[in-house]
């Protein structure tokens, strides 16, 4: 605490510009949210346009810190497969129908709520053995390789990939969001099954409700504390 010399009243030091994330990341990645009207449309606003095939859904949530309070200056990037379980490549013509497979969303500065509209992704075929090869010894000793390289491996359950930055989170956090109405696919998902504690897998599963005939999935991201969301080192 400091004393305001002008009226001898107690005050507080103002926050300095030492933060390299939080509100400053918006200036470069989402200038409209920071009050700079540079683009007609923010980059990444449309993950799946009107022409993209598949079930239309909405995803909503809030990022919660270790004290249980919403974080109000978060930027989230999302990328996903299309309804057939394919990721868009640069040379892919699927972008012509409005499906881009990538987007960016900013939390509300007052409430911390975020949300976006997209289509529900299909099941993605997991990666097979790379051309460079991995030794049998490595595959046997590292759980991360188990199953992933098998030719008959089960496809991954429908999911969204999320990357999160905010005030104090200078290195983005990577996580996934699965769907609670895909229980059978979730049970066989090779990535979910790599999480040792089964009760921790639930932190990656969004809950469904319906609003005006549209499925709405709620996915709150907890940075610390009880029910902390699982984050991946990628």
For residue 71, how far is the Cα from the chain centroid?
A: 15
pLDDT at residue number 153: 63
> CA angle 183-189-192, nearest 5°?
95
Q: Which residues contact 84 (CB under 8 A, 6 or more apart)?
A: 122
- Give dist(CA 202, CA 180) in Å, integer: 9
User: What is the H or E stretch that residue 26 is in?
Assistant: helix 23-29
Tens place of pLDDT per residue across the chain (234 aa): 444 444 555 555 554 444 445 555 665 566 666 666 776 666 667 888 888 889 999 999 999 998 999 998 888 999 999 999 988 876 665 556 778 899 999 888 899 999 999 999 999 987 654 344 445 554 555 544 444 444 456 789 999 999 998 877 778 899 999 999 999 999 999 899 889 888 999 999 999 999 999 999 999 999 998 899 999 987
What Cα–Cα distance (Å) separates residue 204 from each residue in 4, 116, 169, 199, 219? 47, 17, 20, 10, 8
All structural domains of the chain: 43-222 (2.60.130.10)
Sign of CA dihedral 15, 16, 20, 26: positive
Residue 148: count other Cβ atoms within 10 Å of its Cβ.
18
Q: In 3-state terms, the chain is what percent helix, strand and coil (to 5)?
A: 15, 30, 55
Q: Which residues contact 55 (CB under 8 A, 6 or more apart)?
A: 83, 119, 120, 215
Report yes or no: 74 and 116 within 8 Å, Cβ to Cβ. Answer: no
Report yes or no: 22 and 166 within 8 Å, Cβ to Cβ. Answer: yes
Taking only the tens place, the pLDDT of each residue in 93-121 is: 555 677 889 999 988 889 999 999 999 99
Q: Which residues contact 191 (CB under 8 A, 6 or more apart)?
A: 156, 159, 176
């Amino acid at each position: 605490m400091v004393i305001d010399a002008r009226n001898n009243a107690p005050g507080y030091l103002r926050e300095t510009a030492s933060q390299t994330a939080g509100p400053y990341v918006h200036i470069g990645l989402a200038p409209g949210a920071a009050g700079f009207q540079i683009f007609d449309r923010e980059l990444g606003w449309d993950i799946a346009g009107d022409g993209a095939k598949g079930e239309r859904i909405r995803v909503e949530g809030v990022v919660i810190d270790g004290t249980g309070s919403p974080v109000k200056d978060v930027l989230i990037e999302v990328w996903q497969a299309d309804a057939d379980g394919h990721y868009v490549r640069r040379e892919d013509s699927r972008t012509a129908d409005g499906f881009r497979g990538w987007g960016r969303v900013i939390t509300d500065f007052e409430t911390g709520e975020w949300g976006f509209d997209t289509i529900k992704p299909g099941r993605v075929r997991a990666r097979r053995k790379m051309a460079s090869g991995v030794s049998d010894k490595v595959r046997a000793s590292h759980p991360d390789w188990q199953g992933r390289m098998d030719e008959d491996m089960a496809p991954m359950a429908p999911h969204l990939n999320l990357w999160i930055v905010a005030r104090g989170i200078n290195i983005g956090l990577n996580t996934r969001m699965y769907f609670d109405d895909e229980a059978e696919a979730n049970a066989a998902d090779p990535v979910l099954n790599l999480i040792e504690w089964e009760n921790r897998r639930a932190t990656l599963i969004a809950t469904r409700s319906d609003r005006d005939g549209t499925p709405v999935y709620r996915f709150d991201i907890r940075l610390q504390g009880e029910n902390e969301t699982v984050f991946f080192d990628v």
